Structure 1
Amino acid sequence: MFNMIIPAFIVGGVICVIGQLLMDLTKPKFTPAHVLVAFVTGGAILGALGLYEPLVKIGGAGATIPLSGFGYSLAKGAMEAVGERGIIGAFSGGVEATAVGIAAAVFFGYLMSVAFKPKG
């Protein structure tokens, strides 16, 4: 069990440290929104180039849970769908591959907004 937990913790931690360093060393130019876009885009690019897959094999959930893992899943889903359905798969495959995560984020975001008073 620990041989899966330790690598996931290290890989996920390194990804988070990179994001924190980006925000701390580039203030005020690089905001959390910039990190979000950079990580999703970077994960998609690394996934499309086949460079993110070895990180997923080593780090497991430590590589797939952060935002870069979302980008990787988008790219992987799009590439698999292109193989099955052609060019239409490029547009639908990424959303299909990440639909559960997107639906969960919307659902739990809604629950939190109902349970707690959002500041406006």
Structure 2
Amino acid sequence: MEYVYTFLIGGAICVIGQILMDVTKLTAPRVLVLLVVAGAVLQGLHLYEPLVQLAQTGARVPLPGFGYALAKGAMEGAKESFLGAITGGVKAASGGITIAIAWGYLIALIFNPKSIR
């Protein structure tokens, strides 16, 4: 059942993002920001953690999961100190940030970007 929940919740998050791009005039970067902020806000309200407990990576891997990791790290860091509140989010999401930078660099080396006119 864990795989089913992971697939359904992760798929639903992706469908929401696709619907936002198809139905509204929001661009992909704006939808990206909206989903990351939604994950952070939902975690701040303690509503995203139950979703993560149910769907595991189905809720952690999509874009709201990044916001969730940032907010959770900041909330845990805030328990220690003010500086922990600032650095906690980056520490919690450092793995995802590192992979994004590394893959972005690798793809930029392999493919020739085209400018959009």
Is the shorter-chain TM-score for this pair beyond 0.5, marking a shared fold? yes
Q: Which moved further from structure 2: 69-78 or 103-112?
A: 103-112
Q: CA deviation at 1:112?
A: 1.0
Q: CA deviation at 1:22?
A: 1.2
In structure 1, give the amino acid aligned to 2:47.
Answer: L
Among all aligned residue pairs of Structure 1 and Structure 2, give the percentage whose two residues are the same amino acid: 51
Q: CA deviation at 1:41?
A: 0.5
In structure 1, give the amino acid aligned to 2:65.
Answer: G
Q: CA deviation at 1:118?
A: 2.0
Residue 46 (structure 2) pairs with residue 50 (structure 1): yes
Q: CA deviation at 1:80?
A: 0.5
Task: Give the corresponding residue for 1:36.
Answer: 32
Q: C-alpha root-mean-square deviation of aligned residues, in Å?
A: 1.0
Structure 2, gaps ≥5 residues long: none
Task: Give the corresponding residue for 1:72.
Answer: 68
In structure 2, give the amino acid aligned to 1:71.
Answer: G
- SS state at 1:119 partner: coil
Task: Give the corresponding residue for 2:20.
Answer: 22
In structure 1, give the amino acid aligned to 2:11.
Answer: G
Number of aligned positions between the proteins: 115
